[in-house]
Structure 1
């Protein structure tokens, strides 16, 4: 008679149905303490593992399955006669299925009321050992770690009388993937207590949330994974309320747009196109913010993504619905606004409620991974005025508004702002003067009632030519940049000659 070992923390109807299936197929079922009692209570009469090991559970259940009678039954190579003879001589019976789920360490560690000593009891030892043993011997044993695989196992046993080698190998891979993830969660918890930002080894584990229609381009397959360990971050649990299936590029743009608007306390709108902000503005309400952001670059905004840090109102929905946008993002929506927005069949409507949680950035290169601290922050940086003229109060507000935008523009990045509105954005140029000219030219085209403008750069000016361009605009009178060039004095002297105020932050914001 075939045997199945079942030892689980989560006991539910699915498990019960699968156990009854095994009994119907003439499997003997071996169970540990709690699982044994659960199955027995529900009309199954499994074999208590203590009867197999001839040894009672000890140490409050820490030792119950670790025994040669169990592991030899799982690990025996059935193509080796010596193994089979050893099994027979020791009166050990083979085990054909091992079904395990672990103590929920990840869920319990999130409960701040559980002290470390109690949390240690949720580190599973027997479960990972048993499923690893079964996975190692997948040529003969079926390892089950995921209840989603019950149906596949049942189907093959019904059809063949046993599981196929292909399925067992797949389940073995899932088992090792799960145990490595489980160990990583525990490892990260202990390293975090030591504030180990850059551990000697990095393991990244994410859970697939959805398959995507395609990647950056239609010929590339893609999926979206979330950090299911920390369960934090704006992109962890966003929800799509309406529209076409979300794409790879949509997700990247949503991430950037949401990060930008969440730096501000006032109602803010950010419109993104190809991972680049084309218009950002704050307003007294989100309708005003949208009008300003859209008017900052209505051409580039066509087919873009619009994010808001406040509830989407009916009035805003009316404005949005007259335009072509791919995605709308907000923390919540009025019922009336949804009825308006849903009239467009393809418009993707996204709701996000989680705050930004980025602490580390990961960039994959061929054969390696670059890891750095995140540059995301909604706090103003310190600055030092280096010119004779100082910033006005209004210029300070506009300067630090623009600085929060320039961090998300590809280097070389220049942002020109009028009050709390971008009027010229340029980035991704290999030459900073080109970026400056493009941003200034765009700002002059808008001619926002001749208000004085400010300019922010993500890195220092290598030459004073940018100051000359600023002066020629006759509208820009305040500049913020990191400083640090060997020719800083030339830029400072030029600003003084033109009557332009300039400050250094000592911090650059390259984005590659």
Structure 2
């Protein structure tokens, strides 16, 4: 019935998301109970996305029951956030996650402070996390423009950072720093910030000052 209504969006509005209720009510009050074609198209698109995700789950379940690899693999993701910009400042971008939101990774990490991250920030953070988790011992990775410019182990996290930073101090500026162990609040961060500011007198960029906590 949802799809049938969406096919008839020239005359019918189908609502699948309760989050749209208030906006639609305001729109209908402003237009004497009617909805414009643009709104009906937007709602129809949400219907097809909703039913496609549902169908994909059914297909995956039935295929799994047969013990076979799917002939067609369909994945569905939900938009988590609109990013500040894409790979370049004039481009738009968004980040998407699985529907349950439980898959580990940078996309589901918690931003502790700083402004929203850009596409490049997330790409670098993802590369840094993937690289640092290749190590069992205490390790630090610094990534700039998707390339590691410092990878090192150490007896402490601060030692690991100093060793990684020493690999290429110039390229490290403005990069993403990742550790494979939790950082103690302030205690481990302040020496890094002070040392970075001493070596690089310019203001820290948003990429280097934004800190993420991500499950392994």
Does TM, normalized by the shorter one, top 0.5? yes
Which of 86, 96, 113 lines up with 1:215 in the alignment? 86
Paired position in structure 2 for 1:290:
161
Say if 1:253 and 1:274, in contact at 8 Å, map to a contact too. Answer: yes
CA separation of 1:326/1:305 partners in 2, compared to 1, >3 Å: closer, same or farther? farther
Which of 55, 68, 72 lines up with 1:183 in the alignment? 55
CA separation of 1:210/1:136 partners in 2, compared to 1, >3 Å: closer, same or farther? same
User: How big is each residue's C-alpha offset from its partner over 1:211-245, in whole Å with a ceiling of 9 and x where there is no partner?
Assistant: 11111111211111112257413134201111122
Q: Distance in 2 between matches of 1:195 and 1:264?
A: 34
| Aligned-residue RMSD, C-alpha | 2.0
List 4+ stretches of structure 1 deviating above 4 A.
193-197
**TM-score, normalised via structure 1 length:** 0.38
- Identify unmatched segments of 5+ residues in structure 2: 197-203
User: How big is each residue's C-alpha offset from its partner over 1:417-462, in whole Å with a ceiling of 9 and x where there is no partner?
Assistant: xxxxxxxxxxxxxxxxxxxxxxxxxxxxxxxxxxxxxxxxxxxxxx
**TM-score, normalised via structure 2 length:** 0.86
Say if 2:41 is the partner of 1:169.
yes
Paired position in structure 2 for 1:351:
213
Q: Distance in 2 between matches of 1:152 and 1:243?
A: 30
Q: RCO (CA 8 Å, sep 6+): is it higher in 1 or 2? A: 2
- The Cα shift of 1:173 comes to 1.3
- Identify unmatched segments of 5+ residues in structure 1: 1-129, 329-346, 356-512
Say if 1:185 and 1:229, in contact at 8 Å, map to a contact too. Answer: no
Q: Secondary structure at the match of 2:62?
A: helix
Paired position in structure 2 for 1:414:
none
Aligned pair count reads 206
Q: Secondary structure at the match of 1:142?
A: coil
CA separation of 1:265/1:195 partners in 2, compared to 1, >3 Å: closer, same or farther? farther
Paired position in structure 1 for 2:199:
none
Q: Secondary structure at the match of 1:240?
A: strand
Paired position in structure 1 for 2:118:
247
Q: Secondary structure at the match of 2:11?
A: coil
Relative to its length, the structure with more strand (as a share) is 1
Q: Distance in 2 between matches of 1:230 and 1:188?
A: 18
Q: Distance in 1 between matches of 2:141 and 2:193?
A: 17
